[in-house]
Structure 1
Amino acid sequence: MMKLKTKSYSFSEDIRASRPFQWVRHPTEQGYRVAILLLSDILALAGAWQIARYLNQFYSPLPPQLVWWSWFDIPSLFWVFVGCTLLLFAKGNLYSVPKSSQNYLRTVKLISSVYLLSLVLIYFYDPKVDPPRSLFFTAWFSSVVFVLFGRLVATLILGQIQTRKPKKPIFIIASASQLPKLIQILQRRSQYQVVGVALASTANSSTTLNSILASKAVEVLAEDLPQTDLASALYWNLRRTGITLRLLPSSREILYRRGVSEIMAGLPTLRVETSLLVGWDYRVKRIIDFIGSFVGIILLSPLFLIIALIIKLSSKGPIFFRQERTGLQGKTFYMWKFRTMVNNASQLQSQLEAHNESQDGIMFKMKNDPRIIPFGHLMRRTSIDELPQLFNVLMGQMSLVGPRPLPLRDVEKFQAWHHIRHQVVPGITGLWQISGRSDIQDFNDAARLDLFYIDNWSLNLDLDILVETARIVLFGKGAY
């Protein structure tokens, strides 16, 4: 039986059992997140109900049978709705890890469930009570809109707080060839501090576990874990001590995650099948692209005129920059941007290739590019030079979210597997843009992010990327 010298307790019981009196490892951090989200949800629901009551008080007020008491001038029925909604949110993990709390589609479903269930309960409470339909639907719609808006704002706030926190200690487990690269990536691009490493071949050994516990790591990043007959001992040992395990997945593991556990002929299998409404989510995405780009162009048209005037007054040349890019299925199209460089920037690039800061040479990156015009630095840092691509989205050449279309010069240097990213419509923003932007020097890392996006695509992921893009643009992180 394995015993740990560093923690003075043994794993003599079931490996799935948690350590005695094991609580959340970071109560302060988790507490702040839960408090902000709870406050956001309560204020949003209160605002929705107040608006619904104000709009309906003259011709369709709440029946007296449904007003048992009032608190802060808000009827008791509201507080019942709030309690049920918050309980469902907690049950649905909307106050847990960041990615779960940003599941906006689940948020809409849970709010709708509360309102639909209330109709049934009110009927059984008193069949003679007829709740005002206008009040009901106004409160329902307002609750969805206000809660989503509140959570989007809370996500922006929490994301910015995250970037200012002290670095978290992390332990890395990988092959000998990958360890230096992972250490460099984490030190350059993340809020983590590497406090220890181990080879993947030793992942399930007591020595590695002791090293993890002694390092005081709060998370473990692992890649290429050795095969085991049942479950990884590393996973269970970390789980029972409250340490988070992060895995760098292969394409096979991503496919496994899509499967549903099922016993077939006495064999444990994973069934991977298509959705009943296959293709409809993509149709919704394209509708959102069209409406979003159309509305964006109208609302931002005054800003377009101001930027155009500044470019024209500060530099000789056209207002817009048009460049041929590779899009869906390798077809080329012209992508539009506000011009941020001198008029002959394309011709000058060949003279600057020796100064390319990209490690593999596929993309051209130069932090102090002499071709950028004075106002160009601000446009690139705030990404407002990308706004004309809303016209590309409106024409169907691009999407709001997707792999970034690259110049023909870059695509010519692609490896064969890089072209998989051309199987989907390119986008204005994507996982690449919110995961480091200009800080990513190796195109292989950017390509893996694009493939991860393709394998895990959902409408909620698109919305999550748009929200994170807004936060990054507002604070100008990673662009030059």
Structure 2
Amino acid sequence: MTSRYVPLVDFKPDLRSAKAARIQRGLAIRVLRVITLLLLDTLSLTLAWKLAVFYGTPIDSPWTEKSSFLLLILVVELGMIASKGLYNAGIHRRNYGLLVKAVTLSEFFLLLIAFLYEPQRYISRSTFLLFWLFSVALICANRLVFDFATKVLRKVGVIRYPVFLITDVEDQESSVKLIEKENCYNIFGVAEASSLDRDNREATLEFLHNRGIVEAFVSWNAIKNRLYVSWHFLNAGITLRILPTEREVLPPKSILWMIGEVPCLTIPAPIIAGGDFWLKRCFDLFCAIILLFLLSPLYLLIALLIKLDSPGPVFFKQNRIGLHCKQFKIWKFRTMVTNAEKLQASLEAKNEIKDGVLFKLKDDPRVTRIGKFLRLYSLDELPQLFNVLLGEMSLVGPRPLPVRDVERFKTTHFIRQEVLPGITGLWQVSGRSDIDNFEDGVKLDIAYIENWSLWLDLKILLKTIKVILQKTGAY
């Protein structure tokens, strides 16, 4: 068992934390594409409006007299086009049907604004109709010209993304042909699926980063059962694209994407890798400091009650298994008799967790009178704010488990040790102690890791307050 623990000298950061802030690879080309399309659409809409005013029925109207209304038109039109995802890469910007729909909707919106702004004055209907026709024609035309110019440049090797392919040997040839169909990639290398195994993963990511790879195409066979692989690509600033598979289960944060006519999945890299995690750590530290200051009177009251209730120390410290299986001391208010851990062996037969990985007993005879009250409202967990300050825990994350529990882990359970443990988590707000199967709890922990975001942490914290007040599953 001790071989699974990571020594302090080999300590690794949280799975979600990048070693260094890295800007998304290929971002410059993507930004240049969006800026170019915005400029072309702006020129097209401006020209369409000038032509509509020139050829439309001349009516005295603030829309044709004030230049500020042209700015409003551009904001509405460009905003509607952007909201439909028509500045995204690939087939998105070439969706001419959706482009016509976006222009039409913005025209109706502009007519509504015109009526509400000057209901007593006439608006030239011919001007707006001509503007719609010219807008559709010119914007579609500039997209055609943009696509033609892009194809010409890519044929001579310009604005092509350096990519890398990771897949099984038998699938490599077909995967290369599929990628080459898009005509916007330079394949810098191919590796087998084993390059993403635990022992090879870091070297592979470092190699891709040093070679300047922007996107990695990975077959599902190379990523399945390794849910944390996507986080390593995110932190390397490399966009992960998952090649077609017969599996119906889609990985988290995935987006449907096309290579020609073939649907694929992609997990895009963030603009700044690891930025959200460091915001989370700053939030943890800020909240821990504020809560320790505000709750200090409550700490003193609980300490006094524990001393009056039973002999022994106020705090209970226990070895728990944290990030990357590193042991640390977790702090809690003591809720049991002093020899509770020695008595546990005699109570193992009464364990209410079905698979026996965890130890839970509803009417545990070791719990003191004040301990039952503290557990009912989770007040015994308050000292773990010190663990948060020390960087051993977070406010939200998978709960750190005792050595006895981790020794019974299967290999698939260790994914939960890849992120910083928390005072509360998705498992705790989804049933607390009422969940009597460890596998169900691990599924919730994995769901948290897969779908993690700052917003999810905030929802879990708010739900934790509700669960504690309702005393759901507490014992």
| TM tier relative to shorter chain | 0.3 to 0.5
Q: What is the TM-score of this pair, normalised by structure 2?
A: 0.48
TM-score normalised according to structure 1 size:
0.47
Which structure would you say has the larger RCO, counting Cα contacts within 8 Å and 6 or more residues apart? 2
